[in-house]
A and B are shown apart, each in its own frame.
Chain A
């Protein structure tokens, strides 16, 4: 499976984007988000960007006020996931230009579309920014 979920949380712990690649009920999501956000936000800059949680790992990265948290299986390459997060941010940055928390909040669906282009079935399937953004540009133009 690889990636289990991608979560964007601000530093107050409020969810800004959530995409799960295995179905969880609303209650389960709530509990899980609470647990891992508490775990990750308490860590210092110097500590590892990886946290083991139950039977999987969370790779996270902080950009300004936003935390990007990705839940992955144990056999996943953590550094690569860390760079995947950065790629996602770079992609958002290319599209929005100096992306910020509000961009994602106002254009939640677009952020989701980008993620949909990059990850399917829990696998990273596209890392070419141009290709990721093409459908989104085309949709912008069409509407």
Chain B
């Protein structure tokens, strides 16, 4: 009896997900919140929301299920969206801003793992690790002799695009390898000890390597274009752990195929899980199936962070990972 009463006092959280995305921490969350999950119901989502979600103040967005202004219009009491991803480009940010809906993301939970993968992809591209591994597995070493030389990482100039929690973890790691760091961000960050470039093309001109760690927005869509890649140059390497559409992918493929750029390490693509086939025959490209955050440790950290954000919200305390939206 007491348990049921406690249940009724718990705050309500709307779980918003496409049916194929699971909620790994349902049990943990159910101890503290009443979970409303339209994907569990046979009713179409819009009528479910209209019936049951009118007074819902908080929404937990699982995976990158899109939240449109139509959806938001069915949630008149919504004040908070807790995203389970680093990127929030799947949410109608303009509408949230207009409505005063706060958004928290998960970059902080993932930052180390994403940074680790960015560095791993970079070393792989420069030192040809995946290519050399294929060479050995294919039995080619005794037949063909030494593998072609790679390129040294130490002393290279790294340009980090987006200096948030992920970008700063990348910088911290690469400094230990003897790289010099510069960055581009929406605004110069006074606490960051590295040179700032106001635009990406300028950063590319001064860099041997570009690492993309920024959010996907209207401004950053196809930010890595023909001009930037030309500025980066023939030996330049691009690592993308942000979103596929930060790069003009068609242009990138052309640059790689024609040898106008040195190489690329990509965890994300414009049209996942489709990857341009021309890349499969290239040895100076390392491809990853959007796995930057998928370690058990990151997922645990994600669960902790999203729970913490929800708890903070319902006890009127400051949110843990509020996203600053700039429009």
Q: Do A and B come together as binding partners?
A: no
Instruction: Write the residues of chain A forming the contact surface with B, with a CB cutoff of 8 angstroms.
Output: none
Query: Which residue numbers of B lie inside 8 Å of A, CB to CB?
Result: none
